[in-house]
Structure 1
Amino acid sequence: MKNQLQEAVELFEEVMIYGTEHVVKNLDVPIWNDYSPEQIQVLKILAAYGKLSSGQLAEIQGVHKSAISTRLKKLVEKDLVQSEKDLNDQRINRISMTSKGHEVLSVSNAAINESIEGLFTDQIDEQELDQFIKTFRKLKSILVTKER
């Protein structure tokens, strides 16, 4: 089982690398001219987790707090995120998406989904897709449970 898990991890990493390369090289999404992949990723993280501190964002994105600070400054200037004091601890600022941030993320996600759908149509059957979804739901559940 250890070898299978290692292969699964390696395959997942490779799919992420090749998938990202495909999206970056083959999609012409006008909003991507205005926002970096890292900024879009911040929006994706906020959509998944809700309000977070800049430290939490840095940890999730795997970067130094200074990198997040720069990204957040640009996203605030573009009205995609907002910062508000934490209700329980006024020393902490919580970052959340604005309605414009949700719109930008929606356009980005739609373009990615359309591209992936076109790429996989006639390549993956419904049964394979159902198994993929079942497996990834289970993995997500395990990861979410371990984090909390």
Structure 2
Amino acid sequence: MREKLEEAIELFQEVLIYGSEHVVKTVNVDVWNDYSPEQIQVLKILSTQGPLSNGKLAEIQGVHKSAISTRMKKLEEKGLVASDKDPNDQRAKIVQLTTSGEEVLKKSDEAIYESIVKLFVGKVEEHEVDTFVNTFRKLKDILHMKGM
């Protein structure tokens, strides 16, 4: 079991690296010229997690709070996120996605989807995608439970 798990981890890391490289090189959409991958990731996090504090965003992205503050300032200036004081902690802000942020994220997601579809056509069967989805749902559930 250990060898297979080590191989799975290694493959997962490689897929993240090569997948990110593929997307950056092949996705050609205006929003990717206007926003960094890290900014798009912030939008995705807010889309899936809901409103969060800057501290929690920094924790999820694995960066210092100052990096998140810079990203938030730029995204807020562009109208993609909005922040309000945290009702539980007046020193903290809660950031949420705006309608404009949702639109930018939708454009990005569509471009990524189209890129991956082109990559997979004729190389990956539907039952393989089903297996992939089921495995990743399980991993997501395990990680989500662990994070609580």
Q: Same fold (TM over 0.5)?
A: yes
Match status 1:113 vs 2:113: yes
Alignment of 1:95-114 (within 5 A): 95-114=95-114
- What TM-score results when the alignment is normalised by the length of structure 1? 0.97
Total equivalences in the alignment: 148
Query: Structure 1 runs of 4+ off > 4 angstroms?
Result: none
In structure 1, list runs of 5 or more residues that go unmatched: none
Q: 2: CA distance between counterparts of 1:87 and 1:67? A: 24
| Aligned residue number for residue 29 of structure 2 | 29
Q: 1: CA distance between counterparts of 2:126 and 2:25? A: 27
Q: 2: CA distance between counterparts of 1:110 and 1:147? A: 29
| Aligned residue number for residue 15 of structure 2 | 15
| Aligned residue number for residue 43 of structure 2 | 43
| Aligned amino acid, residue 73 of structure 2 | K
Percentage of pairs with the same residue: 62
SS in 1 for 2:17: helix
Alignment of 1:54-93 (within 5 A): 54-93=54-93
SS in 2 for 1:122: coil
Could you tell me how far 1:91 is from its partner in structure 2?
2.2
Superposed CA deviations along residues 109-129 of structure 1, whole A, max 9, x for unmatched, are 000001101110111111111
> Aligned-residue CA RMSD in angstroms?
0.8
SS in 2 for 1:90: strand
Match status 1:132 vs 2:135: no
In structure 2, list runs of 5 or more residues that go unmatched: none
Could you tell me how far 1:89 is from its partner in structure 2?
2.5
